[in-house]
């Protein structure tokens, strides 16, 4: 069974522009916009370090397992993706999150860092 490690503080269906991915050397930053109490929009970011792989599947092509990660970050138990990359048993975790009308973002990384204050 997959474990939820973090939940979006807002609904992804309310994004105006996000999510936005920025890849760096062994890092990935995932930013999303959200409506504040004043009605303005602000950006927040989550980070992954020790990134070995990243994938994005458009919403129309997502399977049920991917959609189950709706607005929440899961660690995928028994990840076939990690096994295929010979990363099973390593410090890498398979993370997955699904965003409404966008799709599923998956990251194989050693660590996840939630936004400050989360």
96/68 Cα distance (integer angstroms) = 10
- List, in sequence order, every residue forming a beta bridge with 96; answer none if it has no partner: 74, 106
Asked whether the predicted pLDDT for residue 118 surpasses 60, the reply is no
pLDDT (tens digit, 9 = 90+) per residue, 61-78? 999 999 999 999 999 999
Number of domains present in the structure of the chain:
1
Q: Does a structural domain hold residue 87?
A: yes
Kindly report the CA angle at 44 between 59 and 30, in degrees rounded to 5? 45
Q: Out of 29-33, 82-86, 87-91, which region has the weakest mean confidence (pLDDT)?
A: 87-91
Q: Does a structural domain hold residue 118?
A: no
Q: What is the mean pLDDT of residues 84-106?
A: 89
Q: What percent of the chain clears pLDDT 90, i.e. is strictly above it?
A: 73
Largest CA distance in the chain: 48
Q: Does a structural domain hold residue 109?
A: yes
Q: Does a structural domain hold residue 23?
A: yes
Q: Which domain holds residue 27?
A: 3-113
pLDDT of residue 52: 94
- Integer Rg of the chain from CA: 14
- List, in sequence order, every residue forming a beta bridge with 14; answer none if it has no partner: none
- Look over the chain and give the mean of its residue pLDDT values, rounded to a whole number: 92
> Distance between alpha carbon 56 and the CA centroid of its chain, in Å?
9
């Amino acid at each position: 069974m997959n474990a939820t490690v973090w939940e979006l503080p807002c609904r992804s269906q309310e994004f105006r522009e996000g999510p936005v991915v920025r890849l760096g050397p062994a890092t990935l930053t995932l930013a999303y916009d959200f409506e504040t109490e004043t009605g303005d929009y602000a950006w927040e970011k989550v980070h992954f370090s020790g990134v070995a792989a990243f994938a994005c599947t458009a919403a129309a092509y997502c399977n049920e397992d991917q959609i189950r990660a709706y607005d929440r970050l899961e660690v995928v138990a028994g990840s076939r993706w990690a096994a295929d990359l010979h990363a099973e048993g390593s410090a890498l975790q398979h993370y997955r999150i699904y965003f409404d009308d966008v799709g599923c973002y998956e990251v194989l990384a050693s660590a996840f860092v939630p936004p400050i204050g989360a």
